Amino acid sequence: MSKLMDDNIEYAKLLSSVNIANTGLKRQLSPSQVAEYIERLIEEEGFETTLMLLPIGKKIISDFRILLTFPESVQNLIIWGASKDGALGFSVCVFIGPLKKPEDRELLCKEAAEKSLSVEEIKEIVGLVNKQDKSLIDTIETITKSRPKITHSYMVVISFLRDIQTKIKELAKNTNQSMEDFVIMNMDKKFQISGITTVAFKGENIILEMNKQQYENYKSKIKENNLEFNKITEFLVS
């Protein structure tokens, strides 16, 4: 077999796969294939010459070579970019590499693909397992459970005309409540929406913050009672 440097086509594939920044070009080799080509180049030309031949530094070369320490079944799953659809992102694999036990590395690759673990999560998991000798499975569970939960809220604006303002103020006073608490109580009573915590009065509008379920209940009641925008607060205090 000829040397990689003598094969212009294959050498060009390697160069185009490690140096495409701002070119708009598609990488011709997978990360694992790049690793194999780099290893071949080192064997044929030596490490120092390889450094001169490739437009990447020692750290990146080391990152690629880490991929070759994984089982072939894992190498075949490694893709450019972020992990997705059961495949592993290149950066994720690089940070899995420092795990001491081969079986842990293979397991973390599997879990990273299935759970779409981020680079930061991988770094934290590997650090805890290596430094504190923690169980890998327990550590993964701890890290994934601590992920921030994303919630969506809906800001609902209701007409709050002057005569209704006066009525709510009087009713709230008669029941020793603030206007906000009165609105919250009546949203539960008239719309069967409990748990609202944010109410604000802005000019001739009431602004309510609702979660998804509260908002769905609100829309259902509006439709059920055929309420127009300027009639909602009338229904609320009726």
Kindly list the distances between the CA atom of residue 212 and the CA atoms of 150, 153, 200, in Å, as whole numbers in the listed order: 12, 6, 19
In a shared domain, residues 170 and 128: no
For residue range 202-233, what is the model confidence (pLDDT) as tens digits?
Answer: 888 888 898 888 898 888 888 888 888 878 88
Q: Evaluate whether 193 touches 218 at the Cβ level (below 8 Å).
A: yes
Instruction: State how many domains the chain has.
Output: 2
| Rounded (10°) angle between helices 136-145 and 119-132 | 140
Model confidence at 44: pLDDT above 90: yes
- Sign, CA dihedral 102-109-54-3, equals positive
Pair (127, 67) in one structural domain: yes
> Do residue 115 and residue 175 come from a single domain?
no
The token duo for 13 is 């594939």
pLDDT score for 34:
94
Between 23 and 139, where is the model more confident?
139
pLDDT at 127 over 80: yes
State which of 112, 145, 178 marks the end of a domain.
145
Tell me the pTM: 0.60
Tokens of 193: 């929406």
Phi and psi at 232, nearest 5°, equal -65, -45
Closest CA to 222 of 213, 207, 235: 235
- Intra-chain end-to-end CA distance of the chain, in Å: 89
CATH classification of the domain holding 169: 1.10.1220.10
Spatial separation of the C-alpha atoms in residues 6 and 16, rounded to whole Å = 16
Reported as a single tens digit per residue, the pLDDT across 135-169 is 899 999 888 888 777 677 888 888 877 888 888 88
Residues 26, 141, single domain; the answer is yes
**Cβ neighbours of residue 99 closer than 8 Å, sequence gap 6 or more:** 105, 108, 126, 129, 130, 136
Q: Identify whether the C-beta of residue 183 lies closer than 8 Å to the C-beta of residue 168.
A: yes
